[in-house]
Structure formats: C-alpha cells, structure tokens
Structure 1
Amino acid sequence: MMSFCHNIINISCVKSSWSNDVRASLYSLMMLIIFTTVVGNLLVIISISHFKQLHTPTNWLIHSMATADLLLGCLVMPYSMMRSVEHCWYFGEVFCKIHTSTDIMLSSASIFHLSFISIDRCYAVCDPLRYKAKINILVIFVMIFISWSIPALFAFGMIFLELNFKGAEEMYYKHVHCVGGCSVFFSKTSGVLAFMTSFYIPGSIMLCIYCRIYFIAKGQARSINDATQKLQIGLEEKNGISRSKERKAAKTLGIVMGVFLTCWCPFFVCTVMDPFLDYAIPPTLNDALIWFGYLNSTFNPMVYAFFYPWFRRALKMILFGKIFQKGSSRCKLFLE
C-alpha cells in the first residue's frame, strides 16, 4: 500500500516503499560514511592545528578543505540520509532551503580549495626558489576567503532568490513540487550555470595545471642523475625546499583531485543533462549520485593517511594521547 509524507494526499510526496531490512541496511551504510567522514577530517584538522611543523601554506589550504568536508559530514549528510531513505522531508521548507544551500556551498568550496591547492603546487614545483616569497600566509588567507565566500554567495543567492527555478517554474510546480519533499531542482539555464561555476571551469583549470606539473616533474626525474641537477638540488635543500618532496606532494594532491572528479563528475553531468532530458533521470538515481559525490569528503583523509608519512605519525600520536604531553606540538614529524 502506498504511503505519503503529508496527510493531504493529493499534494503530498510519496514515501519510499522499501522494506524495513532495506532501510536498515541503507541507514547503516550512510551512518558509516558519515562517521568515517567526520572522524577522518577531524583528525586532519587536529594534526595540522596541533603540530607547528605542519603550519605551512599548503597545509592551511588542506586544513580549510578538511573543515568544509567535516561540516558536510556534520551539517548536511545526516539530513540527506533521512531524505534519501524515507523520500520525505520533515524539517520544513525554510530549513530545506538552508540545507540545499549549505550542501551546494560546501561541495563547491571543496573544488575551489582544490583549484587553489593546484596553483600552490604549481608554484612549488615549477618555481621552487621563489615559492615562499610568492605564496605567503596572506596569499593563502585570500585563497581561503575566496574558496568560502564565492560558493556561499552563489549557493545561498541561487536557492533563496529561487534563481534555480528560473525558466522552468511551471514545470517545477506542476510536475515536481510536492509537500513533504526537498529535492534539488535546476532549470536549463541555472543547471548549466551551476555546472560551469562549481565544476567544469575550476576542474578544467586544475587538470591543465596538474598536466603542467606532471610534465615538469617528469623532466626533473629524467635529469636527476645529471651533475648540474645534483648541484641544483643541493642549493634547493639549503633553502629548505626539496624538489623530490614537492613532486611527491604534487602527485598526492593530484590523486586527491582525481578522487574529487571521479566522485562528483557523474552527479554534475546528470544535473546539467536532466533539464534537457525533460527531467527523465529518476530521483533515486540522483540521490545515489549525491552520496557518491559525498564519498569524496570521506576519501580525502584516507588519501592523506596513505601517501603522507607525517599524517600517519600524527595520527599515532593523537590516538595514543601523546598530543596532551608537554611540548608535543614541537615534535618533528618529518625531516625538513
């Protein structure tokens, strides 16, 4: 028997028809994703905040991105979980707009951070001797400010001014809108704008920059045995910069970017295509793609743990409570 989210049946959204076993499985899986996301990103934030050796420009960008991922896990995923499993929204229309805006903002903030991280790595690998002079703490704070402010203005402006409906109001209110629901809806114009702003343009910039970094790092690797190159490496190490370290960092952050693109690409492609297909993509598929995108925030700390020895050492100190010891913040996690 069909059940509804609201007592007025003819305007209500329809509840999910899944059995209790299926619902329990979905809740368990999503709660595991939420828990892993929150704990993983919290450990990244604690590590970078506590250990003074990790107070570097790149790490402050990673810290800010981990904060966005943590907030996504705390503020967005729990409500999305209930909506995805029950197909109902029990928290009111105003909170639906706040939730949708926050979701878009934090997802967009991640790719903005990754764009700036790619720029930071480009300077570190391509111009290492002048890197510290060009990428100082003020430049990093400007990057972080832009990474948060533009997605916030874009997301909250679009949802609260209802610009996402523009050009498709009749279609939305006649065929999509129902009481007790909270779906993300885009018209053709707003869908293309969201796709270009939040995904395509910054993603293309990152790919171009990482291609450049890759070819430069490859060239450095080929000439690593050359005597002149050895002299240059010695000079760089004297200035506190190691090209081999920077190449490894660039490779790691490239993998972080690849994970992001893999996770979010299906959702953004469906978002931009759906209005042109007369909204033929099933809501259940959209929900699944949103959660596939959320997995990016879950995977990022795992990438750090796998590729960064400093994070593994910091993690051990946190888990064994050694960070509460006097002077622990000055511990050397890696050789500079």
Structure 2
Amino acid sequence: MNVSGIPQTVHFCYPSVNNSCRKQVLPLQNHIVLYTVLWTTVAVTVFGNLLVIISIAHFRQLHTPTNCLVLSLAVTDFLLGGIVMPPISVQLVETCWYLGDIYCKVYLGAVIMLCTASVSHLSFISIDRYFAVCHPLTYKTKITVPVTLNLILFCWTLSAVVGFGIIFLELNLKGIEDVYQKVKCVGSCILMQNEASGLVSSLFSFYIPGFVMVCIYLKIFAVARRQARSIRDLGHQNQSAEEKKKLASRKRETKAAKTLAIVLGVFLICWSPFFLCNVINPLTNHNAPQFVIETLAFIGYMNSTFNPLVYGFFYSWFRKALKLIANGKIFQNDSSRTKLFSD
C-alpha cells in the first residue's frame, strides 16, 4: 500500500514461478538513460581494450616483456567488458537475473578470476618496472619474454583455479547457508561471502597486493628522481651517441613506470569501495542492499574502461598505433615493422 492508499502492483522476475524475486519497474525514460550509459561503457571497454590488444600484437617494436604483460592485462579487461559487464548492466536496470543458475556460477567465477588476474598482472608489471628503473643493467637478462610468458601462464592458471574453485565448491558459503537461502530467490545472482571468505579474499586480492605495489612504485620514483638529477648533470657535458641513446631509453622506462603507476592508481580508486563493502557486509549480517553491491561492483569493472584511456593519453606509441589502425595501414606489407618510437 502506498501513501495515497492505492495498492501498488507487485512485479516479479518470473511471475509464474514460486519464490521469484521481486522486480523493480523503472519509468521508460530511466530505462533509456541507464541502458545508454551502461552499454556505452561496455562498448568503450570492449573496443578500447581490443585496440590495445591489436596494437601490441601487431607492431613488432612493442613485443617487449612489459608490453606482454600489458597485452595480457588488456585481454583481462576485454573479457571483463565482454563477459561480465553486459549481464550486470541488465541486472542493474531490470533488477533481475535472466540467465539461469549455471551461468550465474560461471559469471561469478569469471568475476573473481578476472579480478584476481588484474591484481596479478599489475603486481608483475610493478616488479618489471622495478627492475627496469632500479636495476637497468641486469633488467634484460632477468626479465625476458619467455620469463614473462611463464608469469602470464601462472597468473591465468592461478586466477582460474581461485575464481571457479571458490564458486563451484561453494567455499564462500560455508557457515552461512541459512542466510543465503533466505535471500536467494529465482531471478537473482548473488556473490555472498562468509566473514572469513570476505576478509581473506579482500586481503589477498586487493589490500596486500595494493599496498606492496604502492611501496614498489614509491621506491621506483625515488630512484627515478635520482636518475633525473644525474641526467640533468650529464646534459651539460658532451655526450656520445651511445650515451644519448642510453639516456633516452632510461627516460622512456621512467615514463612507462609513471604511466603504469597511474593505471595502478585507477585500479585502487575503482575497486576500493567494493572491497571495503566486501569486508564490512559479512560483519553486518549482509545488510547492504544488493543494488548497492552491484553498483559498487560495476564501478570496479569500470577500471577496465579507464585503462585504454590512460594508454591513449600518456603513450605516444598507442596514439600512433591508433592512427595506423584507423587508416587501415596495418593491412599493408611490413606494417608490423613500423617504428612507433625511436630506439
């Protein structure tokens, strides 16, 4: 009964099914606005990361250990934009899950897998940048393409085992089965976690790696600052062509570290609200509304939307690659050998 005394129609996700979830019906204009915003975000995420994938995969000059990790991270973001974001976009507007329980488990497993993969990639990238900036003389011998490929394989394997293992073995529901059954209804897809699962997953998937990566980048910037002073001092001296080449390479490595630190910062900003809720919600007997959790999750997923924008803004090679892709020049012979930056 509403305030006017006129009975309100109760809508259900599946009207002919018992224990169906209630459906929140929004005005048509709200539907249009929300779907426009959400699907535009999905499109930018998918096509932006696809451009990063094509750029790094096509141009041979970009086949470096760092860019192998960036490429794999872009694949993570691409899959998140193509697999995870569309279902939650519909769920946010319709307040119903229409894809069934089996796909719900696959979806939740993919969410955990891709989030874990993102953190793992960012961790390996920070380590790569640490050796490139702080130990440039041994960098090329320690961080090679085969080593990087093995790290990527380990990252994806670990993420898949963690993500789908937690969901299909229902480790997140141990001890809260009764609470889950009370809120579970036909037409919902809920990632509910017990106190231990919420705390442990948040610590190992976000807080601890994030803290370690921030410390690594602070160390990198301290070393980069000292190197910048030495570069300025050397700038007043006559330099050979080889010395100039080394200085240019060092500047490029430092700039790459700064850009990837911004990527890390965007990741922390996007995902902090969700992981804060992920720890607090189990402690408050899961009182957070599902809509709030889904909204915070979507904000976290938007990290994958921002990454290609960061590359486009800070990487000149990415902007050059986009022009070549847009002009169709990547289909020309030997286009993969195009120089995007000076050696």
TM-score interval (norm. to shorter) = over 0.9
Structure-2 change in CA distance of 1:240 and 1:88 (3 Å):
same
Report deviation, 1:225: 2.6
Does the aligned pair in 1 maintain the 2:133–2:250 contact within 8 Å? yes
Structure-2 change in CA distance of 1:221 and 1:261 (3 Å):
same
Counterpart of 1:52 in structure 2 is 60
1:71 aligns with 2:79: yes
Counterpart of 1:18 in structure 2 is 26
Counterpart of 2:96 in structure 1 is 88
Report deviation, 1:8: 5.3
Does the aligned pair in 1 maintain the 2:20–2:185 contact within 8 Å? yes
Pick the aligned partner of 1:168 from 160, 176, 183. 176
TM-score, with normalisation over the residues of structure 1? 0.95
Which stretch shows the higher mean deviation, 83-92 or 153-162? 83-92
1:209 aligns with 2:202: no
Does the aligned pair in 1 maintain the 2:231–2:247 contact within 8 Å? no
Counterpart of 1:63 in structure 2: which amino acid?
Answer: L
Report deviation, 1:226: 2.5
Structure-2 change in CA distance of 1:208 and 1:236 (3 Å):
farther
1:325 aligns with 2:332: yes
Counterpart of 1:118 in structure 2: which amino acid?
Answer: S
Counterpart of 1:121 in structure 2 is 129
Does the aligned pair in 1 maintain the 2:202–2:279 contact within 8 Å? yes
Superposed CA deviations along residues 94-146 of structure 1, whole A, max 9, x for unmatched, are: 11000111111112211110110000000000011111000011210121112
Q: What number of residue pairs does the alignment pair up?
A: 335
Measure the CA separation in 1 of the matches of 2:302 and 2:265. 13
Measure the CA separation in 2 of the matches of 1:152 and 1:258. 25
Q: Secondary structure at the match of 1:226?
A: helix
Does the aligned pair in 2 maintain the 1:195–1:272 contact within 8 Å? yes
Superposed CA deviations along residues 223-244 of structure 1, whole A, max 9, x for unmatched, are: 3333499799976665697211
Counterpart of 1:178 in structure 2: which amino acid?
Answer: C
Measure the CA separation in 1 of the matches of 2:52 and 2:83. 18
Structure-2 change in CA distance of 1:183 and 1:322 (3 Å):
same
Measure the CA separation in 2 of the matches of 1:232 and 1:275. 62
Structure-2 change in CA distance of 1:233 and 1:281 (3 Å):
farther
Counterpart of 2:188 in structure 1 is 181
Structure-2 change in CA distance of 1:281 and 1:334 (3 Å):
same
Measure the CA separation in 2 of the matches of 1:82 and 1:251. 36
Q: Secondary structure at the match of 1:264?
A: helix
Measure the CA separation in 1 of the matches of 2:13 and 2:237. 69
Counterpart of 1:248 in structure 2 is 255
Q: Secondary structure at the match of 1:225?
A: helix
RMSD of aligned Cα (Å): 1.9
Counterpart of 2:151 in structure 1 is 143
- Percent identity of equivalent pairs: 51
Counterpart of 2:61 in structure 1: which amino acid?
Answer: Q
TM-score, with normalisation over the residues of structure 2? 0.93
Measure the CA separation in 1 of the matches of 2:244 and 2:159. 38
Structure-2 change in CA distance of 1:206 and 1:233 (3 Å):
farther
1:102 aligns with 2:91: no
Report deviation, 1:184: 1.1
Which stretch shows the higher mean deviation, 40-49 or 4-13? 4-13
Report deviation, 1:87: 1.3
**Unpaired stretches in structure 2, ≥5 consecutive residues:** 1-8
**Unpaired stretches in structure 1, ≥5 consecutive residues:** none
Measure the CA separation in 2 of the matches of 1:141 and 1:80. 32
Structure-2 change in CA distance of 1:165 and 1:249 (3 Å):
same
Superposed CA deviations along residues 164-214 of structure 1, whole A, max 9, x for unmatched, are: 11121111112x111111011111111112101211121122111111101
1:310 aligns with 2:317: yes
Counterpart of 1:271 in structure 2 is 278
Does the aligned pair in 1 maintain the 2:14–2:186 contact within 8 Å? yes
Does the aligned pair in 1 maintain the 2:131–2:139 contact within 8 Å? yes
Counterpart of 2:131 in structure 1: which amino acid?
Answer: Y
Measure the CA separation in 1 of the matches of 2:264 and 2:168. 30
Counterpart of 1:218 in structure 2 is 225
Superposed CA deviations along residues 304-335 of structure 1, whole A, max 9, x for unmatched, are: 01100000000000001011111111111100
Does the aligned pair in 1 maintain the 2:130–2:217 contact within 8 Å? yes
Structure-2 change in CA distance of 1:236 and 1:252 (3 Å):
farther
Report deviation, 1:222: 2.7
Measure the CA separation in 1 of the matches of 2:39 and 2:83. 13
Which stretch shows the higher mean deviation, 305-314 or 136-145? 136-145
